Amino acid sequence: MKEDRQHQWVAGFWRRLVAILIDIIIVAMIGFGLGLFVGDFYAQMGHWSSLVGFFLALMYFGIMNSAIAGGQTLGKRLVKICVVDGDNAPISLGRSLMRYLIVGVPFLLDQLLFMLVPAGSYLIYPVASIVFGGMLTTVYLFLFNRHTRQSLHDVVTKTYVVDLYAQKAPLESVWRLHFVVAAVLFLAASTLPYMISLVPQQDINESTLRVRSVLLQEANVVDVELNDGLASVAMSETDEQTISYIESRVYLGVNKVGDEAFANRLALTILEQYPEANQKDLIQIILTYGYDIGLGSKWHSEAYNFYPREMQRAE
């Protein structure tokens, strides 16, 4: 048995996958545990709450995969694998932090891409390359680099995930074709914003922007999404009616999704600031409270329907 282990210095796919899943669950539980005490703080951060999960994961993986913890996260400890350098020694904290940043930053930027890069900016192309190229290459190498089992972050930092008890064994170099595939993935990822721009998008007029700006000034409103469209509603088993509607999903920094009066006030604001709303059949306000910390999310929503014609008569 010992001799078999000596020939399997580099940890296999399934052991690494199990360790990753365990560690993600642990970090997510830490994040949600904190959310029990600072949930409103998460909610008030809006989309930026993904930074919480990122920094929790950075600290967890950075410290635990370093020499401080013997190169083992809790997940790795359970499956008896660890992170080492080419000399089979644990790596420094700085190197471990860099190792996580390489795999973590693309996933973080994916959450914040359209918040960080202004619409129409040419920065979208290199950023998209980092985000999608980084994620695709990480997954590709994790699945197909069978010689060294190094993913992107391991290749860059020259680290390995190995069997804790196996002796170091000579390894073949990473297959050169993998680097070609990685280059193609990064290049292809940089073209995604252009490809997306070819897809017809809903027009955003000045009235829509104005009403969104006004709604954002309401107390405890963190973000607002507006959709203007048509929907088919079944009136009976054989009859359908097409209605026009405006849907506004309003993200709140405090949990007041049950406040119908507040939803009514938001609907009235839309009628005042968005003239086209008076011609619609329905205004739907969806009050939403919660957060997404990147590793998981928690949301609670309540929808309220208002009918412009009835609201006009009430006035």
Model confidence over 102-156: pLDDT tens digits? 999 999 998 888 777 776 788 889 999 999 999 999 999 999 998 899 999 999 9
User: Tell me: the pLDDT tens digits for 83-107?
Assistant: 999 999 999 999 999 999 999 999 9
pLDDT at 72 (0 to 100): 97
Q: Beta-strand (E) ranges in the chain? A: 81-85, 159-163, 221-234, 240-252, 282-292, 297-306
The CATH number given to 206-314 is 3.30.70
pLDDT at 119 (0 to 100): 66
pTM listed for this prediction? 0.83
- The string over 196-231, giving b where at least 16 C-beta atoms fall within 10 Å of a residue's C-beta and e elsewhere, is eeeeeeeeeeebbeebbebbeeeebbbebebebeee
Output the DSSP codes for 151-176: -HHHHHHTEEEEETTSPP---PPPPH
Q: Across-strand partners of 288?
A: 251, 301
290 SS3 class:
strand
Residue 1 pLDDT exceeds 50? no
Contact between 5 and 11 (Cβ < 8 Å): no
Please tell me the total number of residues recorded for the chain in this structure.
315
Rounded Cα distance between 218 and 42, Å, is 18
Residue 173 pLDDT exceeds 90? no
* pLDDT (average), residues 200-212: 71
Residue 80 pLDDT exceeds 50? yes
109 SS3 class:
helix
Q: Taking Cα atoms as reference points, which of 54, 137, 142, 133 lies closest to residue 101?
A: 54
Q: Provide CATH 3.30.70 ranges for the chain.
A: 206-314
Q: Taking Cα atoms as reference points, which of 178, 86, 93 lies closest to residue 137?
A: 178
User: What is the Cβ-side half-sphere exposure of residue 201, based on CA atoms within 13 angstroms?
Assistant: 7
